Chains A and B, each alone.
Chain A
């Protein structure tokens, strides 16, 4: 009689991993050996239970949560408008409630509201003009700064030898590129590791 089976042969048989000729030999042995027959039956039942173990489910919204942690959502323009309008509406409602509670009647409330609105509309063009003047002054300052920078570079070019200029320029480009690359990588890591 053929030697009894090893456990690994039984598992290979159950998982249909045995070559056909070995499978035939095993089945022939099992038909005549009760010990091996029981061993195969035990492990077949174990295998069946293992194959039907319950699976864990993903909770609802899990994929979205993962995606949000990798790609933080940017607020859309529409949402910005909606939020701004909601804020203005709440502010107006609050003022309205305040006026009503202060005992003023409705017509007074509307009159004072529109008076305030008109006075702010009157001052708006002046504000706009002052803002443009400020922008103009800042631009003038920026151009002056650039002009001084250019003068400084020209002076530097006249002092420093051409060879040294090339070396220093290459180093400056290298450090600037490294800085921006590191900054970009740092921002990318921040975005991907933020939970």
Chain B
């Protein structure tokens, strides 16, 4: 498969096939991003399609200095925020996770931490993780999805969100600890 930047150059020259290759390459990652963020199949398909349309319209503004995947997901993230704003759903702030002190996980391991996860079957654990993922703040969920579903590096996520790498790492670890606490709660 051709490099993204070559495909974009061809697409800007008018090659529909080149843009179709981009669509085929990124349809699953985008579907998984939206799917994990909103958990609604039809809406996920609509949002993914809209992002590709927006991407094509804005293709002439893409700066090849940056990775195309991070640029695409920046568009996706902003599109999701716009969608939530239109629906007047409480959206997340880009800088601060929406959590109160009660839910903020401790980063030191408490004494007598229950061993819940080791006892679960892997398939059951996956199912519970998916349920728990819907309950954590969307700002943390987004970083978690990019790291563990879309498999972006911490540096790439930091580029998408305009955050320091250290902050991204902390937020992803927070997300995982919140998921673990949800699993503890429901065991």
Binding site for B on A (CB under 8 A): 4-8, 10-12, 17, 35-36, 38-39, 41-43, 45-59, 62-63, 65-67, 69-71, 188-189, 192-193, 195
Contact = CB atoms under 8 A, between A and B. Distances in A.
Interface string B143-169: 000001100001000000000000001
A188 B14 CA distance: 13
Contacts of A71: 16
Given A5-B109, A17-B154, 18 more contacts: A7-B177, A11-B169, A11-B172, A39-B113, A49-B129, A50-B129, A57-B28, A58-B28, A63-B20, A63-B23, A63-B27, A66-B49, A66-B53, A67-B19, A69-B53, A188-B57, A192-B56, A195-B49
The 9 closest A-B pairs by CB, nearest first: A49-B125, A56-B35, A39-B109, A58-B27, A11-B173, A63-B23, A7-B107, A66-B52, A56-B31
B31 to A, nearest CB: 5
B44 interface: yes
Contact of B20 (A58, A67, A192, A195): A67
B24 to A, nearest CB: 5
Max chain B CB contacts within 10 Å: which of A39, A70, A195? A70
A16 to B, nearest CB: 12
A7 to B, nearest CB: 5
Contacts of B1: none
B45 A59 contact: yes
9 contacts: A7-B108, A11-B173, A38-B113, A39-B109, A42-B180, A46-B183, A50-B176, A58-B27, A192-B53
A43 B107 CA distance: 13
Contacts of B8: none
B10 to A, nearest CB: 14
A36 B110 CA distance: 10
Contact of A52 (B109, B122, B154): B122
Nearest to B121: A49
Contacts of A51: 148
B176 A41 contact: no
A172 to B, nearest CB: 29
**Contact residues of A: prevailing secondary structure:** helix
A100 to B, nearest CB: 49
Interface string B34-46: 0100000000110
A7 B118 contact: no
A192 B27 contact: no
A10 B117 CA distance: 16
A62 B32 CA distance: 14
A53 B170 CA distance: 21
Contact of B53 (A10, A35, A70): A70
A189 B45 CA distance: 21
A7 B170 contact: no
Contacts of A42: 113, 115-118, 180
Contacts of B28: 55-58
Contacts of A62: 27, 45, 48-49
A41 B120 CA distance: 13
